[in-house]
Structure 1
């Protein structure tokens, strides 16, 4: 069994509800077991101006599925929850699920990068990730805590559920 971390984000509709629905869908997905979920965080939007704040979280899953199978499940959940893939990069979205880490694997392909390429520069990923795993080492990169120290805590606070 492998451990994988999934990043969740939304800023359209009811973002916290969208994240909760995504977590429920992960729980219902055969072969995936949700082991832990972080608090929800309100974060400044990344990307085009004029967007609403985001709600972000991280979930730890245990799975016998391959990274590609996990990615397929994430895309299916996004589609079921109404994600549109034709908007601007980093634009507003109903739901976004990212495979952040899969055990200590490193994958670098056009369709899948693990660790996720933005993991070291985004506090909205690092804060909930470190909530679940305070001593986490990022494969080939170093301690997650060191990256958060560099990135800082500007623009992030707890989302009141």
Structure 2
């Protein structure tokens, strides 16, 4: 018990010990051994069924300290917006900014994975947007962003509020 720093209730079965004198010797010997234990403990004498109960409190703090944080991307829900929906949101906001607000030379700031997806291939989304809106949309990868986080910047590098 001391070597492993075990705590809780320990029940030892001495059911075949029939002589009361031997039970008394056993109990005294256990108490003597436990005197060296610095943990708070209690030893009960053998019951009529030959069971000895020892309660012991752990001395060392638990080694497994569990720390938990909420996921910054999903806020602890375990779910994030589907990437296809994210692209729809980006494109609808892009349409609003370029056609309704008449912004020029805008920059889309996104997570690096999303930036790679937007720029991927000859017929990339970035190229599709160029043909659709008649102007180039600069895509900037920001590693500190969550996967579904995105922002638009004006030509003056100011965030465009939506």
When the two structures are superposed, what TM-score results if normalisation uses the length of structure 1? 0.22
Relative contact order, higher structure (CA 8 A, sep 6+): 1
Q: Based on CA coordinates, which of the two structures has the bigger radius of gyration?
A: 2
When the two structures are superposed, what TM-score results if normalisation uses the length of structure 2? 0.22
